[in-house]
Structure 1
Amino acid sequence: METLAIVLLAFFATGYFVLAGADIGTGMLSPYLGRSDHERRLVIASFAPFFLGNEVWLIATAGVLVGCFPDLEGELLSGQFTVLVPLLGGWIVRDIALWSRGRGPGRRWRAACDGAVVCGSWAVALSWGWLLAAPLTGTPYERAGGATAVLVALATAALFAAHGLGFAALRLTGLPFERARLLVGRTGRWQSFALTAALLGALPLLAGSALPLTERAADGATLALLVPALLVVTPFLVAAQVWTWRTFRHRVTRPSYL
């Protein structure tokens, strides 16, 4: 059961980084991709159908960590609290701005929300890099510091941005598409997206390999209850994700309601 719990944790964490990394990266680059109010609405429309579903993978990851590895979760939470605060803050600011953008008065309101989406996206990406720097450098229970933490955070944010750029090249049209294609370069759009997806997916796997997951797993009775339930729910989560991507597989040509 411990092995199944570790596999589920790795599956959900990898799914979150690959899927949510696309909308986070696109949000980070929205000032470059969208130069006008109309273009920024197109950029947001490119990931609007996906971002809430993508965040479910993070919730599932947290649920597996809390339920199947409670002792480890407590130690990580206390040791990385100062990193989790900007991560959650950026996440909340970003989501509120996305939901509020189309519901306020005038262009100034939308411009303020656009700025919040950008700042929130960068905060999330940099915070993930800062958080992952701890286990990657061998100190999972302490906040990473120094030049190494800065470099890992910046490299992770750059990877998020590159992933979002590949996603934008697959979803956008018009001038925003041309700007995305310019930075993607000669590499095929699907090849670029697949490469950054593989790199982003590898990050939580590398970080998780530094954690004592087997030793800190919950007792057998708890795992015998939780793991089968998770195995039942997981196919529905995957099916919902596949349906979403299939339904919204076409390029965006007009703004969404956001």
Structure 2
Amino acid sequence: MEIFILAFFALGYLVLAGADIGVGMLLPYLGRTPDERREAIAAIAPFFLGNEVWLVATAGVLAGLFPELEGELLGANHTLIVVLLLSWVVRDMGLWLRGRVPGRAWQGAWDCAVVAGSWGLALSWGVLLSDVLLGMHGPLALLPALVLAALFGTHGLAFAALRLRGVLRERAAVLSGGAGEVRTIALTATALAAVGVLAGLRLPLEAGTSGPLLVPVILVMMPLLVASQAWVWWTFRHRVTGPTYL
């Protein structure tokens, strides 16, 4: 049961947050002007904070149910984890601050932060999964990391195609074959989940002793998380009609 819980949250994060990471990576392509970039960001605005909850939950499950694995992953990849967290902070700062002060210079600087942070997240996850899956370290690990980053980008384009309209949708659907964004996002989501499963199979998933205490609590909370996520997706199921608060 502990392994199922960890897989549930970890795969949920990869699939859900992979979409907003991909949109951030390709923001300069999707939005050629400040207004277009703001509309592209509106595609992920209702979702990115909720998606990050899955990462926080994954970290909590790892610490609570798999403390030995948590120590091994953090100890062996300390610098990489720091880069990942910094990228996360920079990306979110860009999203929150870009619209707080008028002016192209201000917005352009924070748009760069969104792009840099999103690429940092994608590559950090890619290097970490390269280590877990392939045992690759150092500069060579960047090669499979770039492949995973391309998968994040494709996933983001498919998601943006589902959310945007007009010219922005046409740009996002460049890999989806017009109206094939549902098919594309299903394929990219499956591919991201498969990467996560393969990585999980390579990890020493030996649960700690706190399972009997924590597992019932987590099982009670899981339906609430899924229900809240479903409610957000249902509420914002329509295509973006213009810029949002970001």
Relative to the length of structure 1, the TM-score reads: 0.93
1:24-173 paired onto structure 2 within 5 Å: 24-137=21-134, 139=135, 144-147=137-140, 149-173=141-165
Amino acid at match of 1:250: H
CA shift for structure 1 position 86: 1.3
Hey, what's the Cα distance between the residues in 2 that align with 1:79 and 1:91?
Answer: 20
Contact map agreement 2:23 2:156 (CA 8 A) in 1: yes
Q: 1:79 to 1:173 in 2, by over 3 A?
A: same
Cα distance between partner residues in 2 of 1:186 and 1:251: 16
* 1:9/1:65 contact within 8 Å kept: yes
RMSD: 1.2
Q: CA deviation at 1:187?
A: 7.1
Query: What SS does the corresponding residue of 1:251 show, helix, strand or coil?
Result: coil
Task: Say which of 194, 203, 214 aligns to 1:211.
Answer: 203
Taking the aligned partners of 2:205 and 2:3, their CA distance within structure 1 comes to 7
Q: CA deviation at 1:184?
A: 2.4
Q: CA deviation at 1:150?
A: 1.9
Question: For residues 10-49 of structure 1, what are the alpha-carbon distances to aligned partners after superposition, in whole Å with 9 as ceiling and x for unaligned?
Answer: 0100000000000010111110010011100100000000
CA offset at residue 232 of structure 1?
A: 0.4
TM-score by length of structure 2 reads 0.97
Question: C-alpha distance in 2, partners of 1:38/1:174?
Answer: 14
In structure 2, distance between residues paired with 1:184 and 1:34: 18
Moved more, 11-20 or 102-111: 102-111
Q: 2:237 aligns to what?
A: 249
Q: CA deviation at 1:115?
A: 0.7
SS of the residue corresponding to residue 102 of structure 1 reads: coil
Superposed displacement of residue 105, structure 1: 3.5
Provide the identity percentage: 61
Deviations 1:119-142 (A, max 9, x none): 1000000100000011101x4xxx
4+ runs of 1 displaced by more than 4 Å?
none
Assess if the C-alpha contact under 8 Å between 2:170 and 2:178 holds in 1.
no
Whether 2:20 is the aligned partner of 1:20: answer no
Gaps of 5+ in 1: none
Aligned length: 246
Q: CA deviation at 1:186?
A: 5.3
Q: What is the CA–CA distance in structure 2 between the aligned matches of 1:115 and 1:89, rounded to whole Å?
A: 15
Q: State the SS of the aligned residue for 2:99.
A: helix
Checking the alignment, whether the CA contact within 8 Å between 1:131 and 1:144 is kept in structure 2 is no
The Cα shift of 1:190 comes to 0.2
**Structure 2 unmatched ranges of 5 or more:** none
The one-letter amino acid paired with 2:71 is G
1:193 and 2:185 matched: yes
